[in-house]
């Protein structure tokens, strides 16, 4: 493959996972561990529309919950040499505009919320199968099996008010260690990842109490196919379980056991720009959210001098 073709077709597609970080813990991230050359920088602006029914704790007097939320996001990232392996750092800054409605104690209620949501920071590195490479090495590289690991941190930077029950921020920290495996078969890529979200305590919850939450485990699977003209398509699935919460010392009936399916399409516009489209839908939900999400993202990519 010519170097020029590698820039156009491979780099935008490989960096396209950047804007897949979600406001919710149940994100889907195809191509999260596919390597890129050292010194690759990327910026993206994205918008997702999320709509569907909300399933609240059955002990709450809330029925027929529904949400429509628009989520614009900015993301910034950089690839680097991490102890001789391919590494990446990422920051995602989201804003939310949401309309919520439902029947509360027999009366129709609605709320509008807008403001900053919690930000996400992520560090990842490939621990097997992808050494750190500069561009002249990367254009010759053909991956086979890659094992990667990452740590994601959600910081409590979002809008929060202890006097309201529904907030855009969580007023707590979340940390997710994850390990992922990718296996390449020509133009096909089969991926899997497993991670666990761990949460700190919200000491200033509604009603002047505190809220804690059990770990939330998540398994992802992706089937990715490269197609001509700098495009790729992924079929995505995730299952997550756990996450029961406690108000004070009282356990709530909100244990989660949910599944989501979706698809992602990446399109390289030219050597430095790319688009990504994604659609995800909750299929089964024990408790939590039955949300459909559609998103579009625009990326700009650049290669720093060696």
**242 token code pair:** 């756990």
**142 token code pair:** 């053909």
H helix intervals, the chain: 3-5, 11-14, 135-138
CA separation for the pair 285, 301 (Å, rounded): 37
Q: Which residues share a beta bridge with 96?
A: 115
Does the pTM surpass 0.75? The reply is: yes
Q: What is the pLDDT along the chain (306 residues), one digit of tens a residue?
A: 334 444 343 443 333 322 233 344 557 789 999 888 999 999 999 999 988 776 555 555 556 677 888 999 999 999 999 999 999 999 999 999 988 787 766 777 778 888 999 999 999 999 999 899 988 888 888 889 999 999 999 999 999 988 877 788 889 999 999 999 999 999 999 999 999 999 999 999 887 889 899 999 999 999 999 998 889 999 999 998 998 889 888 888 778 888 889 999 999 999 899 999 999 987 666 555 677 889 999 999 998 766
pLDDT value of position 180:
97
pLDDT value of position 247:
87
CA separation for the pair 3, 273 (Å, rounded): 16
CA separation for the pair 223, 190 (Å, rounded): 5
User: In the CATH scheme, what is the homologous superfamily, with its name and number, of domain 3-303?
Assistant: Autotransporter beta-domain (2.40.128.130)
CA angle 179, 185, 189 (to 5 degrees): 45
pLDDT value of position 19:
24
Q: In what order do the strands lie in the sheet with 250-251?
A: 202-205, 209-213, 245-247, 250-251
DSSP-derived 3-state class of residue 2: coil
Contact in structure between 146 and 182 (CB atoms under 8 Å): yes
- CA nearest neighbour of 212 among 203, 201, 197: 201
């Amino acid at each position: 493959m010519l170097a020029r073709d590698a820039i156009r077709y491979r780099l935008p597609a490989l960096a396209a996972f950047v804007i897949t970080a979600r406001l919710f813990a149940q994100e889907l991230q195809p191509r999260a561990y596919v390597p890129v050359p050292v010194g690759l920088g990327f910026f993206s602006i994205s918008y997702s529309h999320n709509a569907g029914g909300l399933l609240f704790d059955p002990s709450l007097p809330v029925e027929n919950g529904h949400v429509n939320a628009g989520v614009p996001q900015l993301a910034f990232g950089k690839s680097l040499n991490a102890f001789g392996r391919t590494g990446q750092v990422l920051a995602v800054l989201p804003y939310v505009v949401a309309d919520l409605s439902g029947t509360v104690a027999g009366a129709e209620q609605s709320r509008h919320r807008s403001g900053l949501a919690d930000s996400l920071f992520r560090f990842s590195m490939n621990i097997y199968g992808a050494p750190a490479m500069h561009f002249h090495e990367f254009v010759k590289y053909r991956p086979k099996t890659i094992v990667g690991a990452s740590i994601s941190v959600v910081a409590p930077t979002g809008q929060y008010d202890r006097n309201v029950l529904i907030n855009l921020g969580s007023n707590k920290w979340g940390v997710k260690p994850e390990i992922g495996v990718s296996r390449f078969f020509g133009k096909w890529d089969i991926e899997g990842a497993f991670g666990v979200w761990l949460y700190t305590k919200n000491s200033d919850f509604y009603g002047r109490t505190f809220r804690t939450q059990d770990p939330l485990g998540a398994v992802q699977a992706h089937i990715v196919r490269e197609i001509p003209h700098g495009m790729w398509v992924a079929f995505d699935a995730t299952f997550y379980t756990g996450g029961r919460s406690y108000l004070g010392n009282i356990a709530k009936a909100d244990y989660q056991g949910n599944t989501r399916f979706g698809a992602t399409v990446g399109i390289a516009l030219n050597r430095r720009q790319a688009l990504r489209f994604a659609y995800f839908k909750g299929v089964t939900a024990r408790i939590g959210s039955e949300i459909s999400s559609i998103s579009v993202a625009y990326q700009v990519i650049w290669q720093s001098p060696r």
